[in-house]
Amino acid sequence: MPSTETLELRVNNLDCENEAAAIRRGLANVPGLHSLDVFPKSARVKLAFDPEVTSADAVTESLRALGFPPVRNIAEMGPPPPWRNAKVLAAVGSGVLLAIGWLAGMAGAPELAPIVLYWIAMIVGGWFFGREALKELVYEREIGIELLMTVAALTAAAMGLPGEGATLAFLYSISEAAEGYTEERTRSAVRALMKLTPKVAMVRRDGRETEMPVEELQRGDVFIVRPGEAMATDGTVRAGESSVNQAPVTGESVPVEKRSGDTVFAGTINGEATLEVEVTKVFAENTISRIVRLVEEAQERKGVAQRFIERFGHWYSPAVLAVGIMLAVLAPLILGGEWRDWVTRATVFIVAAAPCALVISIPITMVAALGTAARRGVLVKGGIYMEELSRIRVIAFDKTGTITRGEPDVTDIVLSPQCPSAIAPDEAAFLALAAGLETRSEHPIARAIVRAAQARELRPVPVENFKSIARGRRNRAACRCLWSSHLFRQSGPV
């Protein structure tokens, strides 16, 4: 039985089902390729191949030759700048030629000049979607929106209305050019998740400390996390003791104390002391990577409405084209009238009935909703579950203390009977005093106290001889600062 290796790659320029079909066609005859899955929403390609027949490098080069270059991580993904994007340049060129042709006609140029300019504008603007339409028709045996627009533009030009045909090609080329940038916006949630982890880590190997990309970390490596830095990947603390803010991953509002033997997660933020962490999961398997994979898989799962719209679109586009042809050919014979008028009506019908908005409305809405939810820390398994949310009327939570905004807040201020009235006669004075102490601290509880004072428009009391002292494991989260020596003599520690 032949051995099989699996390769999963992120690629550029993969924005829609047409490009996914192009990858499937291009790799169909690669020797040794057992299976191929293409995920256009997340721009991923998953392949299974026989390493004795082909190699990962060969498959990668095949993808690059098809115009879908693989990238190392999602941070490198995205469409090229507009001035280097062929579709954008084609749309701009089509618009410029269309404008020049119109101005030439208005200026009284020879009749042939604007006609030639309109034809060139139509060919330039319709090059990409016209080519996609032919490929979809020949290879996929499907009639899509692109074919409807191509037929409408060519028909208008053939009837002596090249200006209208060029305008149609220009307008549709704009949507084609914007497609990659629109799809990139839907991937913003995944990008935000990936930004939680640093790009490089300080690793100790062979007694030396070197900085290397997080993708190169291996199990057993020890990386060093300084105060304020994020964990490069999942691991176990081997040296040091510090509080770690796990809110980016778990939502816990209060930092968790970590010492030797404790587990830390990728993307969590180290507190006040340096930690040495042993890698237990490589970058592709850590917590953030798994969350990213869940979000991407959720975007690929289609809801009931989306599946219906796609099935509807498969027969709707051919039906529109068929009705348009009947209007152009049969209507003059049956109903009478000028053939030219009926062809014009058929062309207008094809353009007006094209299901562009209908077909793209559900997928774009669903992906935007899933991305927005993920950006706010809510992971939804797929479009079908997002649709079910519309039926929910009551939600019961059995997760006391863990459903939070990821940061603490001051809810109540209780003055101790032992607190001298000269120091804090009321809650406002006490809060102003506490805010003065916490202004220079970066602890989440300290920031909560400062926010509470700002919300009440209180001015923090100036503090001298400030010193931050880490307390024991139990009360470090609650007791971060000591009063100045002057206040200590009067009221003792807080």
Triad 151, 154, 160: Cα angle to 5°: 140
- Say which residue, 157 or 419, is predicted with more confidence: 157
Name the amino acid, one letter, at 486: H
Which CATH code is given to the segment(s) 210-286? 2.70.150.10
Assign 332 to helix, strand or coil.
helix
Tokens describing residue 381 = 């398994």
Question: To which H or E segment does residue 248 belong?
Answer: helix 247-250
Question: Which of the residue ranges 15-29, 225-239, 308-322 would you say has the lowest mean pLDDT?
Answer: 308-322
- Say which residue, 320 or 354, is predicted with more confidence: 320
Q: What is the pLDDT of residue 120?
A: 92
Bridge-partner residues for 275, per DSSP? 225
Q: What is the pLDDT of residue 474?
A: 39
End-to-end Cα, the chain, rounded Å:
71
Contacts of 202 (CB under 8 A, 6+ apart): 209, 210, 211, 223, 224, 226
Is pLDDT above 80 for 295?
Answer: no
Assign 244 to helix, strand or coil.
strand
Query: What's the predicted TM-score (pTM) here?
Result: 0.57
Set 57, 206, 398, 412: catalytic member: 398
Would you say 40 and 22 are in contact if contact means Cβ atoms under 8 Å apart?
no
Does 398 qualify as catalytic in the annotation?
A: yes
Pairing of strands 263-264, 5-11: unpaired
Sign of CA dihedral 242, 248, 249, 250: positive
Mean pLDDT of 275-298: 82
Fold of 5-71: Alpha-Beta Plaits (3.30.70)
- Say which residue, 222 or 159, is predicted with more confidence: 222
Would you say 274 and 295 are in contact if contact means Cβ atoms under 8 Å apart?
no
Mean pLDDT of 346-362: 68
Going from the C-alpha of 54 to that of each of 1, 27, 65, 220, the distances in angstroms are 16, 12, 16, 31
Alpha-carbon dihedral of residues 312, 318, 319, 325, nearest 10 degrees? 160
How many whole angstroms separate alpha carbon 53 and alpha carbon 2?
10
Which is nearest to 183 in space by CA: 424, 15, 389?
A: 15
CA atoms within 13 A on the CB side of 179: 22
Sheet holding 70-71, edge to edge: 33-39, 44-49, 5-11, 70-71
Would you say 50 and 32 are in contact if contact means Cβ atoms under 8 Å apart?
yes
Pairing of strands 200-205, 222-225: antiparallel
Contacts of 35 (CB under 8 A, 6+ apart): 47, 48
pLDDT tens profile 209-258: 888 888 888 888 899 998 888 899 999 999 988 888 887 777 676 788 89
- Most confident region among 13-17, 303-307, 382-386, 390-394 by mean pLDDT: 390-394
Would you say 288 and 294 are in contact if contact means Cβ atoms under 8 Å apart?
no
CA atoms within 13 A on the CB side of 281: 17
Pairing of strands 242-245, 235-239: unpaired
Question: Which of the residue ranges 24-38, 91-105, 108-122, 455-469 would you say has the lowest mean pLDDT?
Answer: 455-469
Q: What is the pLDDT of residue 322?
A: 84
Which is nearest to 121 in space by CA: 83, 73, 156, 78?
A: 156
Tokens describing residue 196 = 């939680």
Which CATH code is given to the segment(s) 427-491? 3.40.1110.10
Is pLDDT above 70 for 347?
Answer: yes
Look up residue 230 and give its DSSP letter.
B
Look up residue 458 and give its DSSP letter.
P
Percent of the chain with pLDDT over 90: 6
Is pLDDT above 90 for 302?
Answer: no
Boundaries of every domain in the chain: 5-71, 210-286, 302-400, 427-491
